Amino acid sequence: MENTLGSKPTQRPEAIETILESLERYNSESIPVLEAYVTKQASEGFNDIAANLALLKHYQFSVRAAKDDIILSVLSMALVKFYTSDFTSALHLLPSFVLTLENPPNDSLAQQTQKLYHLYTLLDSARYTEFWSTFESDDSYADIVADVSGFEDELRLSIAKTVEVSSKQIAVPVFQDWSNLSESKFTKWIEDTLHWVIKDKSVIVPVNKDNDPKVTITTENIRFDQLSRIIKRAYELEQPVN
């Protein structure tokens, strides 16, 4: 649906662009600049996964420089766009122990990463109702993503995107559960934010190229002389060899 690695966020500063497009991306002195940029993304509600992956690569080679709160912000922002490869791309740049360590200490990077990974598996398998139930069952989930401005609202928009590319309509009770909103807030969100329509207890999804595939008819033009050669050749192959 969205190639986040191949697109440049409009909010990306020129200084970050210079780092990413030059050898400065390999300079450890760029770490504080990239970290400050992660904080800016989280507070302003956008995600620049290319810049964030560059920072995580620095952390791979400068383990002592790594900051848990920055890593968790990168993962949390990537989680919002669960339908892209952002989250798994970031996860693959972390030490393997963060997922394999059993019974990690409370509030450790491993424990919090595992919590985010669990949320990701629910979203990735479209178990949205279960996601919200899990997210609200433990305050620690909200604490992990607290630095990401508008986390829940942006996540709802991502869920709506998955519906938009796969359906022409969806039952109101189902979509309301998926968005985790009360009836009045749900109606307002559908009409004012998504600009969709509710009709006969269903949410009508606007037609787009993904949810309304067109039949493609392929035709071939074969000249008569070409056809005659094919028939002649087939006839020759069927003749017994003397």
Q: Is residue 236 part of a domain?
A: no
User: What are the phi and psi torsion angles at 17 (to 5°)?
Assistant: -60, -40
Q: Is residue 198 part of a domain?
A: no
The CATH number linked to 10 is 1.25.40.250
Q: Which residues are CB-contacts of 131 (< 8 A; sequence separation ≥ 6)?
A: 119, 122, 123
The predicted-structure confidence for 136-146, as pLDDT tens digits, reads as follows: 999 999 999 99
Q: Is residue 129 part of a domain?
A: yes
Q: Is residue 174 part of a domain?
A: no
What is the arrangement of strands in the sheet containing 202-204, beginning at the earlier edge strand?
A: 169-171, 202-204, 197-199
For the chain, how long is the longest CA-to-CA vector? 87
Residue 123 is encoded by which pair of tokens? 């979203």
Q: Is residue 230 part of a domain?
A: no
Distances (CA, A) of 134 to 53, 138, 141: 28, 7, 9
Distance (Å, whole) CA 194 – CA 157: 8
Overall number of domains in the chain: 1
The predicted-structure confidence for 108-135, as pLDDT tens digits, reads as follows: 999 999 999 999 999 999 999 999 999 9
Give the torsion through C-alpha atoms of 65, 82, 124, 163, to 10 deg.
170
Q: Is residue 78 part of a domain?
A: yes
Q: What is the pLDDT along the chain (242 residues), one digit of tens a residue?
A: 678 888 899 999 999 999 999 999 999 999 999 999 999 999 999 999 999 999 999 999 988 999 999 999 999 999 999 999 999 999 999 999 999 999 998 889 999 999 999 999 999 999 999 999 999 999 999 999 999 999 999 999 999 999 999 999 999 999 999 999 999 999 999 999 999 999 999 999 999 888 887 767 677 777 767 777 777 777 777 766 65
Distance (Å, whole) CA 30 – CA 22: 11
Residue 196 is encoded by which pair of tokens? 């969709």
Q: Is residue 25 part of a domain?
A: yes
Range of the domain at 46: 1-164
Q: Is residue 172 part of a domain?
A: no
Strand-pair category, 197-199 with 202-204? antiparallel
